Amino acid sequence: MASSDNHPDFDAVVVGAGFAGLGMLRRLREEHGMSVQVYETGAGVGGTWYWNRYPGARCDSESYIYCFSFSQELLQDWNWSGKYPEQPEILSYLNHVADRFDLRRNIQFNTRVTSARFREDINLWEVQTDQNNRVTSQFLITGIGCISSGNVPSIKGLDSFEGEWYHTGRWPHEKVEFSGKRVAVIGTGSSGIQSIPVIARQAEHLTVFQRTPQYTIPARHDTVDRKFLEDVVKPNYDEIFEQARWSTGGFPVNRDERSALQVTAAERLEAYEAGWAEGGIRFLSTSFKDIGTDRRANDTMAEFIRKKIREIVADPETTEKLMPTDHPFGSKRPLIDTDYFATYNQENVELVDIRHSPIQEITPDGIRTEDQQFQFDMIVFATGFDAMTGTYLRMDIRGRNDLSLQDKWSEGPKTYLGLQTAEFPNLFMITGPGSPSVLSNMPVSIEQHIDWIAGLLQYVREHDIKSVEAHVDAEAAWVSHVNEVAEPTMYMLADSWYLGANIPGKPRVFMPYVGGVGTYREKCNEIADNGYEGFILA
Ligand SMILES: Cc1cc2nc3c(=O)[nH]c(=O)nc-3n(C[C@H](O)[C@H](O)[C@H](O)COP(=O)(O)OP(=O)(O)OC[C@H]3O[C@@H](n4cnc5c(N)ncnc54)[C@H](O)[C@@H]3O)c2cc1C
């Protein structure tokens, strides 16, 4: 039922119950006394970690920093078991958060928001769901995730396939049995890299269809170092998070301030070997300062990884196929693996290069490429997501003058700070395009947006403001700035999902903000301190 006057049903409707939605709900309800309704498509909380249940699904951020920081008690009480938490552990953490802060009572599960319309006559959002809810709210806040809409490529014949098929991002809740089966995995992004070694250990035969050879760094996964957690992390959590908040990538690490080109070859090798031995995202995040900006510096690291691949993989033909030479290291989502390259030494694993011999069609019993026909019992699509904008555009969101977000973003997303888009008053996006989001340790970025939005809503209430809207000039300036900072980086030299290159027809625009988490935070704070410069407060 929608209100007929301008008294909304809720102060805020929040879409999504992952990190973003849960954190936003708690903040607005507990600290600002607002009435909040959350809608979530899934049957439970967790977002990414509710949906991505594929074998090997794991976080690449170390567990002690992949969590909320708003409650010191929560930080102290929760004990991670894995250095890099696996999907079930993160899901159980988020369930714990939901229970501990009594969040479920404001969440309606199994409910997808299908449309949201800004009603100019009453200055409210009218939100519609697939469960026939129609409610109004003053604010609409999206916590819908940057990589939450799976991308199954449209390949001729998929409907005719007689075996089982799955997308990693919508994995069944029941156990999927691989033993005795001939399995295909299509895609070698993060989900592929994580799942391939696990599937290879169980399947009778595994065929990997690779379009892009990847650089990937050994995770060196382990159980959590209890002593490190108790002696170093827990007593210093405030400082650790503060360092992460002002860092480039949302991790409490310091980059090597030297240039890769100014040290000797021996010093460089020593640094790379140390990073490789330690493993994980630190290999990139603590590396020389110019890896992301200077192709020659980047080449030194890329060649180091290629040498490692040559050392690990036995078969020369497979090694050649695995060699990443077409894009700089770090220009695509950094990958962290456990035994990925070594998996290709297993007798039951085969690699097919679909860049040179593309998939033609899926047949009732398998896959046909230009060169060959393969028989499979199961196909796993590890083909990623329609990132950053896909989930927005799957809803029908309309702002002033019935302008749809689809039309507004037809040439790529346009936002001010990744937080708002002009003509859509009182709509706030958590980690929207134009914010550091996917280039960072996301809980740190999510909490920054939650804090900033909550601060603005408090300001709005205190000043009796009815609507907040990004000014179109501020938005245009921000979009230019986002492009300008991305332009000289390695990111522009790869066909990545950051650029929308994985989705046919998607505008090719670099979507996240590469300026760094700390710089971005500073800009957001400055804007708030200047009376929310660039926003129209009416
Ligand atoms: C496999 C994988 C590994 C990752 N590893 C890392 C990592 O190592 N480090 C890191 O920082 N980040 C990682 N991420 C990114 C991860 O998405 C974020 O860290 C974080 O979980 C995002 O939380 P969120 O709440 O913003 O979005 P999500 O967790 O994506 O939650 C969004 C929720 O919104 C719901 N939703 C969307 N549309 C609607 C609608 N119309 N109506 C109702 N509900 C809707 C979805 O169902 C979903 O539950 C990874 C992501 C994936 C997929």
pLDDT higher than threshold 50 for residue 2: no
pLDDT in tens, 460-499: 999 999 999 999 999 999 999 999 999 999 999 999 999 9
**Ligand 1 center–CA 14 separation, angstroms:** 14
Q: Is the pTM of this model over 0.85?
A: yes
Q: Indicate which residue's Cα is closest to atom 26 of ligand 1.
A: 145
Q: Are 288 and 256 in contact (CB under 8 A)?
A: yes
pLDDT-derived band at 1, boundaries 50, 70, 90: very low
Q: Are 302 and 215 in contact (CB under 8 A)?
A: yes
pLDDT higher than threshold 60 for residue 3: no
Backbone dihedral region of 427: left (phi > 0), alpha (psi from -120 to 50 degrees) or beta?
beta
Q: C-alpha distances in angstroms, 362 versus 178, 351, 433, 501?
A: 20, 17, 34, 23
Instruction: Compute the average pLDDT of residues 148-154.
Output: 95
Decide whether any atom of ligand 1 lies within 6 Å of the 48 Cβ: yes
pLDDT higher than threshold 50 for residue 359: yes
Instruction: State which ligand 1 atom lies nearest to the alpha carbon of 23.
Output: 25
Q: CB atoms < 10 A from the CB of 390, how many?
A: 21
Q: Are 58 and 340 in contact (CB under 8 A)?
A: no
Decide whether any atom of ligand 1 lies within 6 Å of the 427 Cβ: no
pLDDT-derived band at 106, boundaries 50, 70, 90: very high
Which residue has 């950094």 as its token pair?
A: 334
Which residue has 């929207």 as its token pair?
A: 432
Q: Could you give the CA distance from residue 334 to residue 145 in angstroms, rounded to a whole number?
A: 19
pLDDT-derived band at 103, boundaries 50, 70, 90: very high
What three-state secondary structure class fits 102?
A: coil
pLDDT in tens, 170-213: 999 999 999 999 999 999 999 999 999 999 999 999 999 999 99
pLDDT higher than threshold 80 for residue 248: yes
pLDDT in tens, 499-531: 999 999 999 999 999 999 999 999 999 999 999
**Which pLDDT does position 408 carry in this prediction?**
98
Decide whether any atom of ligand 1 lies within 6 Å of the 25 Cβ: no
The residue type of 494 is A
pLDDT-derived band at 286, boundaries 50, 70, 90: confident
Decide whether any atom of ligand 1 lies within 6 Å of the 149 Cβ: no
**Which pLDDT does position 487 carry in this prediction?**
96
pLDDT-derived band at 5, boundaries 50, 70, 90: low
Q: Could you give the CA distance from residue 321 to residue 6 in angstroms, rounded to a whole number?
A: 62
Q: Indicate which residue's Cα is closest to atom 22 of ligand 1.
A: 145
Q: Could you give the CA distance from residue 51 to residue 171 in angstroms, rounded to a whole number?
A: 6
Decide whether any atom of ligand 1 lies within 6 Å of the 15 Cβ: yes
Q: Are 53 and 172 in contact (CB under 8 A)?
A: yes
Q: Could you give the CA distance from residue 338 to residue 86 in angstroms, rounded to a whole number?
A: 12
The residue type of 111 is T
**Which pLDDT does position 4 carry in this prediction?**
45
Decide whether any atom of ligand 1 lies within 6 Å of the 207 Cβ: no
Element (H, E) at 236: none
Q: Could you give the CA distance from residue 30 to residue 529 in angstroms, rounded to a whole number?
A: 24
**Ligand 1 center–CA 11 separation, angstroms:** 24
